[in-house]
Chain A
Amino acid sequence: MDANISEYVIEARNLRKEYGEVIAVAGIDFTIRKGELYGLLGPNGSGKTTIIRLLTGQVQPTAGSVRVMGIDAAADPVEARTGIGIIPEQETPPSFLTGEEYLRFVGDIRHVEDIEAQCDWWFSYLDFDDARTRLCKDLSRGTRQKLMFAQAFLHRPPLALIDEPLINLDPVMQRKVKDFLMDYVTAGNTIFLSTHILAIAEEICTGIAILNRGELLFTGSPAELRERHEDLEGFFLNLIGGHGE
């Protein structure tokens, strides 16, 4: 281990995940420092969601190790998930709770003390007060996504792992969410963002990693690419080349 381990909020060492004969993550190494807005980019099926699941202890690695906020996510997944916020890619809130009830439900699990004030703030900030009293199953996809976004940040975690957070949001709300994410890291927090929308990463990320078929092809920053006079899209397409799916 590095001597400066404490400055990393995420550390993955030789991280590997196999599903039978399929190699989803092929033994990768990466570290993320506090205060970064780190983007994990890759084509569909490249292994992005599996990495988020590994980092949050939702699946066990086949080999290697992963530490999140200093906690071994494989050995103690619940403890690892306690201090972080997560937006999973596909999950939707429970069908028969209202929007407010869902946030209170998550607030209870995460021991959020000022839950009423937090609910008020999020419904107002994301402009979806209408969802407070409606059942989650009756909400539009975009509204459900707002709810999932709010639950991830309800307890103001120092680290959030978010999978395609802008999906189904209208342009106004996308702008608002991007601003929120940038302000959030400016305040000293860290965000690990998985997306296949390159423009988002280029606009807001301080560091990026490009993944294809479970292998890390590049780690660096959009600024480095700009210095090399390369735009992210061209660089990404060159890197993925004929391997993209």
Chain B
Amino acid sequence: MAFGALFTAMLKEEWRMHSTMFGDRGFFLFPVVLTVFAALASLAVPVFLAVMPPGSVSAAAHIFYLIAGVSVGSFGLLGREVMNRRFGQASLLAYSSRSLPISERTIIGVFILKDCLYYFVFWVVPAVVGVVIGSLFVAEIPFSAAPILLVSLGLSFFLGIAGAFFLSTVYAWSPRALAAILGFLVIAGALFAVSDIPLTGAFLPLAFYAAPALLPAVLSLLLIFLLAGFSIVFVNIDFPESSRRYAAHLPALARTFAMTSAPYFVAKDFIDLRRSDGGMGKIVFSFLFPVGIIWLLLTILQYFIPGLPPGIIFAILLGIFTSTFYNWLTEYDLFTSYAFLPVTVAQVIRAKIESYLILNLIPVLFLLVAIPFFGDALLLIPALAAFAGLSLYAVGVTVYLCGLTPNVMLYDARTFLLYLAAIAPFVLVLIFLSIPSPWYAAAGILLVPAGLVLIQKGGDRHTSFDERSF
């Protein structure tokens, strides 16, 4: 098969995979939403520039795209597992070396190229278009920055993709080597953090954005080619198979959760979390990132609205971010895995919500530490009330809109906008209520029944399950 034909086929496959999951319109709207968000974020740039050190905004944007590239690269590598969960036994062109006379090197090369081009068009270009729109209204963003941003964000993104493929290739040969590289990166990152070296000195795409010149662009490209080239030359599809064995922990764990409505389902959720890549640590780790964002938002909000009670705002925002735990819980199975058993979607959702409530102990512990840190320990009462209300309401909205597939449905632009529209007003109301007195935020507890109703109605709504398959 010619290189061009494989490339075209992979592009089509990628599009059809997404349009099958989200619908043509739903997926097509995603870049539109991205453009709108980027435009709105651009309008807020003067606010960020007033409270953050110079260069922080652009650094955050480039780091975000680096991480986005890593996630795209990782999805490309894990795609088959994800697709199998979504569609049953899926077969992707990336695995066609097993049945067609195409070398694995050709396939991985075309695959990386396809990922770069496809996601550049869908993720990077819309964001830059949004920035261009924002630049019409914001003097701090010169219009001339757009082409530079297109290149620098693109380079960050490609670096992320190439990095993910590189690390995956290393893992395929030696998990220990991967651990060593990751260890080295962590130590290097820590040393960098305490050093005086600016980020532009280490992050080449950002260096290009800060001072556009040929050298950082060429060096970025060289690094990308080096990482991608390593993956192509040393491609190894024979990943180390897991040979780990486990005793039957499920019954004992189910006894621990005997107080829930479906102990075996709850126990299964925790086994999924523990045995999947990253273990329970990934929950805690994934939680630290949003907590960091909350700190950042608090810093900005306090600057402009001095009367804000930081502990309460922390609790409100924590409630929203905590609802993403539900996405973790629904990551490892689909209802089709249960559809042939005598259970309903509503029953599975209820069990997931019970697992979710147990996981809420993690953010509650965060709050118990954070609120006294912010000053008045008594404010723990309204903070916990606001947190509980928003956590349950936000997960209720997620359940109602997305059922058991939030990781898929929230990529649908319409669903995502509905999600924001359902949650944002309550967040704002609670924030403003807390200004005259932090105790007013305790009103957030009123969202608990709303959340419960949404969960109930969401279960009923998604129980009417009808899949196109014959």
A residues lining the B interface (CB < 8 Å): 17, 19-20, 24-25, 45, 47-50, 53, 56, 58-60, 78-79, 81-82, 86-88, 90-98, 100-101, 104-106, 108-110, 132-135, 137-138
Contacts and interface: CB of A to CB of B under 8 A. Distances in A.
Interface string B311-341: 0000000000000000000001100110111
Contacts of A138: 241-243
In the A-B complex, the 3 residue pairs with the smallest Cβ-Cβ separation, listed nearest first, are A50-B470, A90-B88, A133-B245
B176 interface: no
The winner among B242, B244, B466, B470 for most chain A CB atoms within 10 A is: B470
Interface of B: 81, 84-85, 88-89, 241-251, 254, 263-264, 268, 271-272, 275-276, 332-333, 336-337, 339-344, 464-470
A21 to B, nearest CB: 12
8 contacts: A47-B470, A81-B341, A90-B89, A91-B337, A95-B85, A101-B249, A101-B271, A133-B248
A239 to B, nearest CB: 20
A135 B246 contact: yes
A101 B248 contact: yes
A207 B241 CA distance: 44
Contact of B469 (A25, A53, A60, A95): A53
Given A24-B470, A56-B340, A135-B242, A96 B89 contact: no
Given A20-B468, A47-B470, A91-B339, 8 more contacts: A24-B470, A53-B469, A58-B339, A58-B465, A78-B343, A88-B336, A97-B250, A137-B242
A106 B268 CA distance: 12
B469 A108 contact: no
A96 B275 contact: yes
B342 A82 contact: yes
Chain A binding surface SS class: mixed
B246 A98 contact: yes
A144 to B, nearest CB: 10
B99 to A, nearest CB: 16
A85 to B, nearest CB: 9
Contacts of B268: 94, 97, 105
Contact of B470 (A49, A105, A108, A109): A49
Contact of B342 (A47, A88, A110, A134): A110
Contact of B333 (A19, A94, A106): A94
Contacts of A94: 268, 272, 332-333, 337
A60 B276 CA distance: 34
Contacts of B340: 56, 58, 81, 86-88, 91
Contacts of A97: 250, 268, 271
Contact of A109 (B244, B339, B343): B343
Contact of A106 (B89, B336, B341): B341
A147 B343 CA distance: 19
The winner among B88, B276, B342 for most chain A CB atoms within 10 A is: B342
B252 to A, nearest CB: 11
Given A90-B88, A94-B272, A109 B241 contact: no
Contacts of A98: 245-246, 248
Chain B binding surface SS class: loop
Contacts of B337: 91-94
Contacts, number: 113
Contacts of A105: 250, 264, 268
Contacts of A56: 340
Nearest to A119: B248
A82 B275 CA distance: 30
A101 B245 CA distance: 12
B466 A60 contact: yes
A205 B415 CA distance: 48
Contacts of B271: 96-97, 101
Given A79-B342, A100-B248, A109-B264, A91 B470 contact: no
Contact of B276 (A78, A88, A96, A108): A96
Contacts of B81: 95, 137
A88 B246 CA distance: 26
The winner among A49, A58, A104, A110 for most chain B CB atoms within 10 A is: A58
B48 to A, nearest CB: 41
Nearest to A132: B248
Contacts of B243: 138
Nearest to A161: B340
Nearest to A46: B470
Nearest to B276: A96
Contacts of B89: 90, 92
A189 to B, nearest CB: 18
Contact of B275 (A50, A78, A135): A135
Nearest to A81: B342
Given A94-B268, A97-B271, A108-B264, A59 B467 contact: yes
Nearest to A54: B470
A80 to B, nearest CB: 8
A66 B18 CA distance: 35
Contacts of A19: 468, 470
Contacts of A86: 340-341
Nearest to B250: A101
A78 B342 contact: yes
A142 B95 CA distance: 20
A17 to B, nearest CB: 8
Contacts of A24: 470
A235 to B, nearest CB: 24
Contacts of A133: 245-248
B93 to A, nearest CB: 20
Contacts of B241: 138
Contacts of A90: 88-89
Nearest to B274: A96
A92 B71 CA distance: 26
A82 B467 CA distance: 21
A12 B466 CA distance: 19
A91 B241 CA distance: 22
A96 B88 contact: no
A107 to B, nearest CB: 9
A132 B245 CA distance: 9
Nearest to A24: B470
B469 A78 contact: no
B332 A95 contact: yes
